[in-house]
């Protein structure tokens, strides 16, 4: 498997590689995810979150008793081989999903927005949406170094509804589960092909040589971009820099 992330912080790496075009693999930059690291003794942690929109039948999901050695309920029966690694947690009812006094309809929208953020979203149909940073993005920020991509946000259906999805609530709230920060909902990818291409490139050739060439090209573009966007941003007033900051951050983190 090809490793693209280095053990050093990305920014250091970017600065170091900046002017050169070849990809140096120095000793000090042993890939974090090399065969040495990712062994049974020290596996890389990953966080997976799945959302089941119509819910589950709770009494067939929740074990009858607390503690270890519980009887697997019917819905969870297929997980029997992994039962010794499984913990079912109760008491997680999401309070922020419930309407505030006088708030009215909006259950679907609130549920999606509060699910991973734990924050009651701001009721608006306009551009001033506000949620919270979702736990998957917090995890991505902390552990994303260890994997090729920090985070993948995937959905089964395209979410492209326009306007207000429930009276008074913008569709931006129900189009995603994942929030980079309170004002930036992240779009969700629903095309498997696109995800494949993010991971392995968009040609048939996933050989090391091809991928290294691609990484080299990407790096040059990104370095040049970081510079240009920085200059671009410098010409903007403080109040106008927000969008460009997002772009700059996203490039730097790439």
Partner 1 sequence: MIIHSNHFRSVRFHSAGRQNPMIRRNNLAFVGFALLAIGVGRGVAQPISVSGDDQALIQRHCLGCHNDRTLAAGLSLQGLEVQSVGQIQGEVELWEKVIRKLRTRAMPPPGRPKPTDAEYDGLVARMETAIDAVAMATPNPGRRPAVHRLNRAEYANAVRDLLALEIDARTLLPPDDSGYGFDNIADVLSVSPMLTERYLSAARKVSRLAVGDPALAPSTEIFEIDKYLKQDGRVSDDLPFGSRGGLAIRHTFPVDGEYVVKIYLSRTYDGRLRGLANRHAIEVRIDGRLVETLLVGGPVLDADGHEQRLDYRNSADDGQEVRFTASAGPHMLAVSFVAQAPVPEGMRRPHYAVTSYEYAGDQTLDPSLGRVELRGPYAVTGRGDTPSRRVLFTCRPPADAAAGGPDEAACARDILAGLARRAFRRPVTDADLEMLLEFFHLGREDGDFDTGIEMALRRTLVSPDFLFRRERDPAGVSADTTYVISDSELAARLSFFLWSSIPDDELLDLAERGELRRPGVLEAQVERMLADPRAGAIVDNFGGQWLYSRNMALVAPDPYTFADFDANLRGAMAREMELFLDSQMREDHSVLELMTSDQTFVNQRLAEHYGVPNVYGNHFRRITLAGELEPRRGLLGKGSLLTVTSYAHRTSPVVRGKWLLENILGTPPPPPPPDVPALAENDDGGVAPQSVRERMEVHRANPICASCHRVMDPLGFALENFDAIGRWRTTSDGGTPVDAEGELADGTPVNGPGSLTSALLKRPESFVTTVTEKLLTYGLGRGVEYFDAPAVRTIVREAADDDYRWSALIAGIARSVPFQMRRGPES
Smaller CB separation from partner 1, 5 or 189: 189
- Residue placing its CB nearer to partner 1 in the complex, 71 or 217: 217
- What are the helix and strand counts (H, E) for the chain? 6, 4
DSSP string computed for 181-243: ETTEEPP-B--HHHHHHHHH-SSS--SHHHHHHHHHHHHHHHHHHHHHHHHHHHTS-GGG-HH
Scanning 75-83, 90-98, 114-122, 218-226 for contacts with partner 1 by CB under 8 A, the matching segment is 218-226
Q: Are 106 and 166 in contact (CB under 8 A)?
A: yes
- 104 vs 64: CA distance, rounded Å: 35
110 contacts 99 by C-beta, under 8 angstroms: yes
Single out the residue of 28, 67, 78, 101 in contact with partner 1 (rule: CB under 8 A). Answer: 101
Contact flag: residue 212 with partner 1 (CB under 8 A): no
Residue 192 binds to partner 1 (criterion: CB under 8 A):
no
Q: Is 202 in the site for partner 1 (CB under 8 A)?
A: yes
| Tokens found for residue 74 | 């019917």
Answer yes or no whether residue 9 interacts with partner 1 by CB under 8 A.
Answer: no
Under the rule (CB under 8 A), what is the footprint of partner 1? 21, 99, 101-105, 126-129, 150-151, 153, 158-163, 167-168, 170-172, 175, 180, 183-189, 191, 193-194, 197-198, 202-205, 213, 217-218, 220-222, 224-225, 228-229, 232, 235-237, 239-240, 243-244, 246-247, 249-251, 253-254
């Amino acid at each position: 498997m090809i490793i693209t992330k280095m053990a050093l912080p990305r920014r250091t790496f970017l600065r170091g590689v900046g002017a050169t075009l070849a990809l140096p693999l120095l000793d000090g930059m042993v890939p974090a995810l090399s065969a040495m690291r990712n062994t049974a003794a020290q596996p890389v942690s990953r966080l997976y979150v799945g959302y089941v929109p119509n819910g589950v039948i709770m009494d067939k999901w929740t074990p009858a008793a607390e503690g270890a050695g519980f009887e697997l309920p019917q819905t969870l029966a297929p997980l029997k081989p992994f039962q010794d690694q499984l913990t079912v947690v109760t008491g997680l009812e999401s309070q922020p999903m419930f309407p505030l006094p006088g708030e009215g309809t909006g259950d679907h929208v609130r549920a999606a927005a509060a699910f991973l953020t734990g924050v009651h979203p701001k009721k608006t149909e306009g551009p001033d949406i506000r949620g919270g940073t979702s736990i998957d993005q917090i995890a991505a920020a902390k552990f994303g170094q260890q994997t090729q991509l920090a985070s993948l946000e995937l959905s089964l259906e395209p979410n492209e509804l326009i306007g207000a999805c429930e009276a008074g609530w913008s569709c931006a709230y129900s189009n995603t589960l994942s929030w980079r920060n309170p004002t930036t909902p992240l779009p969700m990818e629903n095309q498997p092909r696109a995800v494949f291409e993010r991971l392995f490139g968009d040609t048939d050739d996933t050989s090391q040589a091809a991928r290294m060439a691609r990484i080299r090209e990407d790096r040059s573009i990104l370095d040049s971009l970081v510079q240009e966007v920085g200059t671009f941003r410098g010409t903007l007033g403080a109040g106008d820099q927000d969008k460009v900051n997002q772009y700059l951050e996203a490039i730097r983190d790439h």
